[in-house]
Each structure stands twice: as C-alpha cells, then as structure tokens.
C-alpha cells in the first residue's frame, strides 16, 4: 500500500503520518499525491467496515474531512505508514554503523563507535535537532514519537554532560536544517535524590515492577532492580511494550553503575531492546534482573563520565517521558491513581 516515495514523504517528517496525510493530499508533489491517492483508494471496504468504535472516534478527531468513509481510509493508511516506519527504523538501527544516516555527506569524518554511537558534542543542539553542516539529525527515539528524546537532551545539557555523551542517530529522520528544525516544548521534569546511603548498604537485590497507570503511554509493565556488588550497585530499569507492538516498538532499557567508594554514577546508558512476539513473551514472564540476552539491545545514548548520583532521577524521568510510574519512583508529584 505504501510505496517508496510515499514512505519517504512520511518518514522524513517530524510529525507523524496522521498529522500530515491531509496536507500531503493538497500540497505534495504530483507523484506523492498520486501515490497517496492510490493508497487511499486501495483500502478495501471490508477494512473500513472492520474499524472498531475507538478507531472511528479517533479518525473523527484527527482528520478534517467530513466524509466518514474518507476519514476511515485516511486512518488506515496513516496507521499502516506509522507501523512501517517503526519497523523499518528498528531494522535499520539494528545494523548499527552500516545503516543510514552515517553515510550522509554532512557526517563525513564523524567517528562512529562499535555500538553505532557518535559524539553528541560535534553537533549544535537546536531543541531536539542535532545540527551540523546545515543539516539536522535526531537521536534514535526509544519509543515511537519523534520528540521522545527532547526532554533527555534538555537534561544532558542542563547537567553539562554533552561533551561526554555519545548517541545513536535516527536512521530515517534527517534533512536540511532549514526545513527540518528542532522543536521546543514546555514540560516539567522532576528529580529527587534517592537515599544513596541505603543503596550503598544493600546486601540483596532490591526490585519492583509496575503496571501502567491511566496517563502512561501504552506499555505492558516496567521493571526495576538495584543489584549490589562488592564496590558497585547496578541500577536496571526496563519498560516493556504490549505484545501487539512487538514488531514496531522496542522496550526502553536504562542501566547505571553506582560506585560506592566515590559516591558517583560511573556509567549510564539508555537502550532499546528489540524483541519478537515470542521473545517478548519470554521476557515478560520474568523480571529485568534475570532477563539475560533476550532480543537485540541497541544503545541510544551512553556516558562513562562520572556524574553526581542526584542526576540519575532527572535523566531517568527524561528518558522514560510519559511513564508516570518511573516519574513517581524518582519523586515527581504524580497522583497515586494515575
């Protein structure tokens, strides 16, 4: 249904397909309009009739068209496009340095490490856009949503960590800086220092698991664990997607190492764990502290520069934006019923 040219038009947009599909109908080039018309007309009447009440209600809100049949077709095409974009993004990201955008001329000479990460410091940050040589690139989002890393980047800048962090670039979203600028949002990230004396004295693994509340974006559960060793304590946290999204959404995984002697975080990284439906079922049956190597883990950012422990809460909440269980754990004033 979604040909190459139409896919490129959707994938190179910061906004999701359902936000721009009607604008493409009106303003895109002739070949894109033709491809989009074919995709919309190619939606079967059975697929339109099969839309559930919730999807029909969403379509009525999302699209300007007054025709219910047209709205349903727009919804189906945009949903297919979003799914294809996310599957393609994960597949390309799994190829690390061999995948776009690292072969782009604007990135010539930028070192790419073995995990497919590049130094954040070589870019000028404009909102969540990473700008270089008149082009804008973005950090690989850990969950669907082009703006998923915005708040993380703000925290890294606030904590003066830009010079020590490496990031994985989005293999799909990049382009001319004057056409693809960064975005700016207003949102509050709360951070609260943990009881590090208690963490330092742990003798056994401390762990927990949360199911999502009303406001959290769709996910199955979030696990966390503090794993003590002789001189260090590992912090592990993972948010699992629902099984229906296993092919288009990885889990969000955060790992930190706390050094008991120096009282500093000596390593911090965020990643996506990409799993098949069967792998996700296996992982969901257990806990992050015993998850092993199920699926494929793709780093999205990493720093090995020592940082103060009280920065962990702010960074974790920024990385897990839209996850109110993580926010509550690190001290955000989130109501217990949300």
Residue 238 φ then ψ, to 5°: -145, 130
Answer whether 295's CB lies under 8 Å from 285's CB: no
pLDDT band at 97 (very low <50, low <70, confident <90, very high): low
Residue for token digits 């889990």?
251
Q: Is the dihedral of CA 140, 146, 149, 153 positive or negative?
A: positive
Regarding beta strands 251-259 and 129-132, do their DSSP bridges make them parallel or antiparallel, or are they unpaired? unpaired
DSSP letter at 187 equals -
Whether pLDDT at 278 is above 80: yes
What's the whole-number mean pLDDT along residues 234-259? 93
Residue for token digits 């496009």?
81
Convert the pLDDT of each residue in 185-223 to its tens digit. 766 555 556 788 889 999 999 999 888 866 666 788 999
Buried b (16+ CB within 10 A) or exposed e, 114-149: ebbbbbbeebebebbbbbbeebbbbbbbbbbebbbb
CA dihedral 47, 48, 49, 52 (to 10 degrees): 90
Peptide bond before 67: cis, by omega within 30 degrees of 0?
A: no
Peptide bond before 101: cis, by omega within 30 degrees of 0?
A: yes
Structure-token pair, residue 138? 């973005």
* Residue 43, CA distances (Å) to 39, 47, 123, 131 in order: 7, 7, 42, 39
What integer pLDDT is reported at residue 41 of this predicted model? Answer: 94
Q: Which of 274, 201, 186 is nearest to 238 (CA)?
A: 274
Answer whether 123's CB lies under 8 Å from 131's CB: yes
Whether pLDDT at 47 is above 90: yes
**Angstrom distance (rounded) from CA 271 to CA 324:** 19
Mean pLDDT of the chain: 90
Read off the pTM: 0.86
Structure-token pair, residue 70? 């047209």
Residue for token digits 């906004």?
15
Convert the pLDDT of each residue in 131-149 to its tens digit. 999 999 999 999 988 889 9
**Angstrom distance (rounded) from CA 268 to CA 102:** 24
Regarding beta strands 118-119 and 165-167, do their DSSP bridges make them parallel or antiparallel, or are they unpaired? antiparallel
Q: Within the chain, how many helices (H) and strands (E) appear?
A: 11, 12
Whether pLDDT at 166 is above 70: yes
Domain coordinates of the chain in residue numbers? 4-93, 133-338
**Angstrom distance (rounded) from CA 133 to CA 170:** 17
**Angstrom distance (rounded) from CA 252 to CA 40:** 33
What integer pLDDT is reported at residue 24 of this predicted model? Answer: 94
């Amino acid at each position: 249904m979604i040909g190459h040219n139409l896919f490129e038009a959707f994938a190179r947009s910061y906004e999701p397909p359902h936000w721009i599909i009607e604008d493409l109908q009106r303003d895109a080039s002739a070949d894109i309009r033709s491809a989009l018309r074919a995709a919309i007309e190619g939606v079967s009447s059975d697929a339109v009739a099969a839309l559930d009440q919730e999807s029909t209600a969403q379509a009525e809100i999302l699209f300007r068209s007054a025709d219910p049949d047209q709205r349903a077709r727009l919804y189906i095409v945009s949903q297919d496009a979003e799914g294809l974009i996310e599957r393609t993004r994960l597949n390309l990201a799994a190829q690390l340095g061999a995948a776009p955008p690292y072969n782009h001329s604007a990135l010539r000479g930028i070192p790419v490490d073995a995990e497919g990460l590049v130094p954040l410091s070589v870019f000028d940050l404009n909102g969540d856009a990473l700008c270089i040589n008149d082009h804008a690139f973005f950090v690989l989002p850990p969950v669907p949503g082009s703006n998923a890393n915005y708040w993380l980047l703000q925290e890294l800048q606030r904590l003066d960590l830009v010079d020590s962090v490496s990031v994985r670039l989005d293999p799909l979203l990049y382009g001319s800086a004057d056409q693809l600028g960064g975005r700016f949002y207003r949102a509050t990230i709360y951070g609260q220092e943990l009881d590090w004396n208690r963490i330092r004295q742990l003798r056994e693994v401390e762990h927990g698991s949360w199911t999502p509340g009303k406001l959290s974006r769709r996910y199955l559960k979030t696990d966390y664990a503090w794993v003590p060793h002789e001189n260090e304590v590992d912090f592990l946290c993972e948010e699992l997607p629902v099984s229906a999204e296993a092919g288009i959404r990885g889990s969000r995984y955060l790992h930190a190492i706390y050094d008991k002697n120096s009282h500093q975080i000596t390593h911090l990284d965020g990643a996506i764990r990409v799993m098949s439906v069967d792998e996700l079922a296996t992982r969901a049956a257990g806990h992050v502290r015993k998850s092993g190597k199920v699926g494929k883990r793709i780093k999205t950012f990493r720093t090995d520069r020592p940082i103060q422990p009280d920065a962990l809460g702010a960074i974790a909440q920024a990385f897990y934006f839209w996850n109110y269980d993580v926010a509550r754990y690190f001290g955000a004033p989130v109501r217990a019923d949300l």
